[in-house]
Structure 1
Amino acid sequence: MEETVVLVDDEGRDIGTMSKRLVHHRDTPLHLAFSCYVFDDRRRVLVTRRAGHKTTWPGVWTNSCCGHPAPGEPMTGAVRRRLVDELGLTPAEEITLVLPRFRYRATMADGTVENELCPVLSTVVEGDPVPDPDEVDGWEWVPWAEFAATVQDGTRDVSPWCRQQVPQLTALGPDPLAWPAASHWELPPAAVWT
């Protein structure tokens, strides 16, 4: 089944849909996505390397999981779906919304643009991932404090969205398992929470 993304206006309102296969190019329209940071009970973050054939940022290290909610799909459902499909992981019952209005635009060397309204969520899992090689070709658990410090000082090269998210996440406090949950009412209007 072809994956469809939700197109949004600058206020985050649904203005239509487009095939994911067609959405990323030199003039990528603003669309709805999400980023998820997965932790274990030792406060390590799961860092993944995107598969080498991905359309955007192939082979680049990034946060645990990213994706696009389908039209009408709850954000929490989209996160669960991608964690299972991409990483073979079952998240904890609680998925926490931490940055409800994160937005970024970034351009690859070949001119391909990412242009996303991309709420950021976090969850806790038990066990190691069993990634789908079509999505992920490397992973590691890294203590959050170390990961955040090396992203912010530039010694760890990561995706442009991760590079922008980490300082905002760090501002929420040093313990990722104690980050305050944002209200789902702060999500873009096009996003469904549950």
Structure 2
Amino acid sequence: MTTDELVVLVDGEGNAIGTAPKKSVHGPETPLHLAFSSYVFDAEGRVLLSRRASHKTTWPGAWTNSCCGHPMPSEPLTSAVARRLSYELGLSVARVDLILPRFAYRAVMDNGTVEHELCPVYRAVVAADAVPNPDEVGEVTWMPWKEFAEGVLSGELDISPWCREQVPQLARLGPDPLAWPIASPADLPPAARS
């Protein structure tokens, strides 16, 4: 027997103000909550893209970055990233690097469903192929980072709204994703510093 996953609700300054069941927070009045995005790369600097499963509540079937998710209450974000990479993509990672500590976004689907997340961005490097979990991921593909970034920046690639906002910030860090500077955990919002 499993219980409903809880997400951490946050205020505009990034302080935790409570929790709510994940199933209850994605709708027309989605409260700001803590999440993460991750970009998985291989040794050649190719990025792993995933297509969200067609039954997902938000942006079903959309192509996006490697993996997104929500930390459980009191779970360190790095642990949440590793947990979700394992669950969604069958990937084991030795470490994840904080890249964009303060990314946040709000996006509205055509049906009025809202995503509203304080969503630090992480990088992981793997040497294995993904094994997608069909409950979460429809399909995956590897793409050279330069080609992917240019496609997003030019508007030629149809990608999730959070990824569309993240890529310009990541591109400013330099052309080689394996050389991006690692951000300090001290720059994370207070709710994410557990």
Q: What TM-score, normalized to structure 2?
A: 0.98
The residue that corresponds to 1:160 in the other structure is 161
> How far apart are residue 189 of structure 1 and its match?
0.2
The residue that corresponds to 1:184 in the other structure is 185
SS in 2 for 1:190: helix
Q: 73, 96, 99: which is aligned to 2:75?
A: 73
- Corresponding position: 1:131 with 2:135: no
Cα deviation digits, residues 65-90 of structure 1 (max 9, x gap): 00000000001100010000000001
Cα deviation digits, residues 66-117 of structure 1 (max 9, x gap): 00000000011000100000000011x2311000000000000000000000
Cα deviation digits, residues 26-52 of structure 1 (max 9, x gap): 010000000000000010000000000
> How far apart are residue 127 of structure 1 and its match?
1.3
Provide structure 1 residue ranges, at least 5 long, that are not aligned to the other structure: none
The residue that corresponds to 2:33 in the other structure is 31
Q: What TM-score, normalized to structure 1?
A: 0.98
Distance (whole Å) between structure 2 residues aligned to residue 99 and residue 127 of structure 1: 25
Equivalent AA in structure 1 for residue 29 of structure 2: D
Q: 50, 53, 56: which is aligned to 2:55?
A: 53
Runs (4+) of structure 1 exceeding 2 A deviation are none
The residue that corresponds to 2:145 in the other structure is 144
Quick check: 1:62–1:158 contact (8 Å CA) kept in 2? yes
Equivalent AA in structure 1 for residue 74 of structure 2: G
Instruction: Give the total of aligned pairs.
Output: 192
Equivalent AA in structure 2 for residue 44 of structure 1: R
Distance (whole Å) between structure 1 residues aligned to residue 33 and residue 74 of structure 2: 14
Quick check: 1:73–1:192 contact (8 Å CA) kept in 2? no
Quick check: 2:82–2:92 contact (8 Å CA) kept in 1? yes
Quick check: 2:186–2:193 contact (8 Å CA) kept in 1? no
> How far apart are residue 192 of structure 1 and its match?
3.0
The residue that corresponds to 1:109 in the other structure is 110
Quick check: 1:72–1:192 contact (8 Å CA) kept in 2? no
SS in 2 for 1:22: helix
Q: Percent identity?
A: 64
Provide structure 2 residue ranges, at least 5 long, that are not aligned to the other structure: none
Distance (whole Å) between structure 2 residues aligned to residue 94 and residue 51 of structure 1: 26
The residue that corresponds to 2:8 in the other structure is 6
- Corresponding position: 1:169 with 2:170: yes
Quick check: 1:39–1:123 contact (8 Å CA) kept in 2? yes
> How far apart are residue 141 of structure 1 and its match?
0.3
Distance (whole Å) between structure 2 residues aligned to residue 169 and residue 102 of structure 1: 11
Quick check: 1:99–1:182 contact (8 Å CA) kept in 2? yes
SS in 2 for 1:45: strand
